[in-house]
Amino acid sequence: MSSHHFVKEGQEPALLIAEALSFELAEPLLEWAPLVVVCDTALDEVLHWGIKIDAVTGEATQVHALQDKTVEQAPVKVLSYQPGEDPLENALHFLIASKNTAVNIMTGSVKNRLHLAKNFPQIQIVLMDHDRKWSLHTHPFEKWVPAGTSFLIHPQNDSQKFTLTGLISEGEHVTASIDGLITIESDNIFWIGESF
């Protein structure tokens, strides 16, 4: 194994599965055996994947049913929440208390989840949907890409200004105009969406 693949135990991003999009999407994220948290609505599908689950979120009234479903995976921590509470926020509180500093969240509704990073600045959040991963940037985003590579930008507010290098802007879409280093800068935090 080369040194750039070395990850100290406990430093790999946790995996939070809000929606069981596909095992193929989850598989590369499981390489370093991260802490895996599954929302109850995705549990049945994830159990079919045959992966180890460390915790599951569920309404307080469903704790026993969730314990029964995951008995073969024991020990599994059940993270209960009250009706009306957000299961993802419940899971993020658990991950922060468990000293996780980063998490990949599989969700089909990325736009509805962008607020999570603002509410949980103590953990680095990457949101993933069927075809794109979204990461929050507090500093300039720089990446070496081939010409034609596209990104989506989601600003914190409608008046936010961006400085682009090596990119052509088409609204929230930006496309690399060159083979080389591109840069996206702003005076506020922003999300970048990259295709898989």
Overall fold of domain 12-130: Rossmann fold (3.40.50)
> pLDDT tens digits, residue range 122-139?
899 999 998 899 998 888
One-letter amino acid of 153: I
Percent of the chain surpassing pLDDT 70: 94
The tokens describing 64, both together, are: 């026993």
Question: How many other CB atoms sit within 10 Å of the CB of residue 3?
Answer: 5
45 token code pair: 């599908």
Assigned token pair, 149: 């590579």
Q: For residues 74-93, give the mean pLDDT.
A: 93
Where do the domains of the chain lie?
12-130, 137-195
Q: Which residue has the higher pLDDT, 119 or 105?
A: 105
Average pLDDT on 52-77 reads 94
The SS3 assignment for 40 reads: helix
Over residues 12-45, the pLDDT tens digits come to 899 999 999 999 999 999 998 899 999 999 999 9
Identify which has the larger pLDDT, 10 or 2: 10
What pTM did the predictor assign?
A: 0.86
Residue 9 has pLDDT above 70, yes or no: no
CB of 168 closer than 8 Å to CB of 146: no
Residue 114 has pLDDT above 50, yes or no: yes
> What confidence score (pLDDT) does residue 11 get?
65
Looking at residue 1, its pLDDT comes to 38
